[in-house]
């Protein structure tokens, strides 16, 4: 096995182990709130607890990913998440199970994830040849998608058999294993900024990242699209848990099947993008996928039969999985290495801001009007939003792979080009 393949395999393994526990806790928290409260307001508070800490921390996390040791950042983030989860588990063991404790664990995990994600995204261009990035991202997406098939079934079974605190402990164990692998097994090369050990000027570095994103036409277009789409997507992404209970029944198995079908769709999407690679113009694949995600949301807004409903949810998972590796790969290809952590953090910032903004509107609205109508209306706008970029020629040409050149032009934060 080539050296880079071995390194990537070990890195993917460590992150997949960490993902296993994280997703188990995520499902447990979402279902706990949805079934216990049946409230759009409570779901909105949970979303705010998840996203607002990340919103505050993400700009700094992007700077850290560009300037500091990325392995150390991932280790610190995993340990912080594990510690918060362990404390909450102990409180639950002592019978302190108020819903505000769930909100606290969501805040703590959000902080850890905000530090973790830009560092992980920035590592791949370090250890993967450029022409293999899409394939590796497809494999990475496939691992996550496969987890979304088995883990909801496992989480649903465990939640029906044991208390939620034991599921919290599973996350602590998987985080410890992932950290052990990063410390003792996985070796990552130092990136240029880390070797230079320059002093960090947070305000300047954050500003440079924002200016770079603003001056990079492709990145700016994707940021604007992402903000608007995720704002609308907040309704079907989070309100479906409550919608299932209100329309079909509040049994735990229904939420388990909902997530499992979504996971099957994501697995199939990951396999498809890894083998196919998308249309020659990758942005065509990207925007058509999002258009069809919106079309699926319209189907959720017209709930006729539970089994048809979860099949539609699975189809949405397919197209989400199809589009995600393309976006990550395009950003990794087009953004200069010294800015990549900050660009990913800006993208995360945009998504982090738009989701709670959407839930601030759609969550309480779902308690005042038919929840299916809220999902239907937002999904119609998702379709319209995804249709428009397909006719923007200057943007769409960015989806074509540019020929390799030796002396790559670089865009500075001020928007000027240098050789």
The reported pTM is 0.65
**CA atoms of 164 and 130, how far apart (whole Å):** 42
What's phi and psi for 418, nearest 5 deg?
A: -130, 155
Nearest to 243 by CA among 51, 108, 105, 375: 375
Taking the alpha carbons at both ends of the chain, their separation in whole angstroms is 36
The token pair at 129 is: 């040849």
Q: Please report the pLDDT score of residue 196 as a whole number.
A: 60
**CA atoms of 296 and 311, how far apart (whole Å):** 10
H or E, element range at 410: strand 410-411
Nearest to 312 by CA among 387, 381, 376: 376
> Residue 417: pLDDT band by 50, 70, 90 thresholds?
very low
The Cα-based distances of 415 to 196, 210, 216, 304, 337 in angstroms read 24, 11, 8, 52, 16
Tens digit of pLDDT for each residue in 133-174? 777 877 877 777 677 677 777 777 787 788 888 888 988 999
Q: Of 37-51, 196-210, 241-255, where does mean pLDDT reach its minimum?
A: 196-210
The token pair at 404 is: 């390799």
Q: How many Cβ atoms from other residues are within 10 Å of residue 418's Cβ?
A: 7
Helix (H, G, I), strand (E, B) or coil at 160: helix
The superfamily (CATH) of domain 3-191+201-400 is MFS general substrate transporter like domains (1.20.1250.20)
The most confident of 12-26, 50-64, 225-239, 401-415, by mean pLDDT: 225-239
**CA atoms of 374 and 294, how far apart (whole Å):** 13
Nearest to 347 by CA among 364, 332, 369: 332
Q: What is the mean pLDDT of the chain?
A: 81
**CA atoms of 380 and 383, how far apart (whole Å):** 5
The token pair at 69 is: 């040791």
8 A C-beta contact, residue 417 and residue 409: yes
Q: Please report the pLDDT score of residue 419 as a whole number.
A: 32
Strand-pair category, 410-411 with 417-418 = antiparallel
**CA atoms of 22 and 251, how far apart (whole Å):** 23
């Amino acid at each position: 096995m080539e050296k880079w393949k071995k390194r990537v395999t070990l890195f993917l393994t460590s992150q997949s182990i960490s993902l296993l526990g994280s997703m188990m806790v995520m499902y447990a928290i979402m279902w706990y709130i949805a079934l216990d409260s049946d409230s759009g307001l409570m779901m909105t508070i949970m979303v705010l607890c998840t996203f607002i800490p990340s919103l505050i921390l993400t700009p700094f996390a992007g700077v850290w990913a560009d300037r500091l040791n990325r392995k150390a950042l991932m280790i610190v983030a995993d340990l912080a998440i594990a510690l918060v989860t362990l404390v909450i588990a102990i409180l639950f063991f002592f019978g302190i199970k108020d819903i505000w404790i769930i909100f606290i664990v969501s805040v703590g995990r959000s902080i850890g994830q905000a530090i973790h994600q830009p560092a992980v995204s920035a590592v791949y261009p370090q250890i993967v040849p450029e022409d293999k990035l899409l394939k590796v991202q497809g494999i990475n997406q496939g691992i996550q998608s496969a987890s979304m098939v088995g883990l909801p079934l496992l989480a649903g079974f465990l939640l029906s058999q044991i208390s939620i605190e034991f599921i919290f402990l599973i996350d602590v164990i998987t985080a410890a294993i992932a950290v052990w692998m990063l410390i003792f097994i996985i070796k990552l090369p130092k990136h240029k900024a880390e070797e230079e050990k320059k002093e960090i000027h947070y305000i300047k570095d954050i500003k440079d990242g924002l200016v770079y994103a603003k001056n990079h036409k492709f990145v700016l277009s994707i940021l604007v699209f992402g903000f608007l789409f995720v704002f609308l997507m907040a309704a079907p992404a989070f309100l479906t848990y409550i919608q299932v209970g209100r329309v079909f029944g509040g049994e735990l198995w229904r939420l388990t099947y909902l997530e499992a079908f979504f996971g099957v769709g994501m697995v199939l999407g990951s396999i498809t993008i890894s083998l196919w690679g998308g249309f020659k113009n990758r942005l065509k694949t990207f925007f058509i996928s999002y258009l069809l995600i919106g079309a699926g949301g319209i189907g959720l807004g017209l709930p006729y039969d539970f089994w048809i409903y979860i099949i539609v949810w699975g189809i949405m998972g397919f197209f989400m999985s199809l589009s995600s590796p393309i976006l990550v790969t395009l950003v990794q290809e087009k953004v200069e290495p010294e800015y990549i952590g900050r660009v990913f953090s800006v993208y995360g910032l945009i998504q982090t801001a738009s989701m709670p903004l959407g839930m601030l509107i759609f969550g309480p609205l779902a308690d005042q009007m038919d929840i299916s109508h809220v999902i239907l209306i937002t999904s119609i706008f998702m379709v319209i939003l995804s249709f428009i970029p397909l006719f923007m020629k200057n943007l769409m040409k960015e989806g074509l792979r540019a020929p390799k050149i030796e002396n790559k032009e670089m865009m500075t934060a001020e928007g000027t080009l240098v050789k």
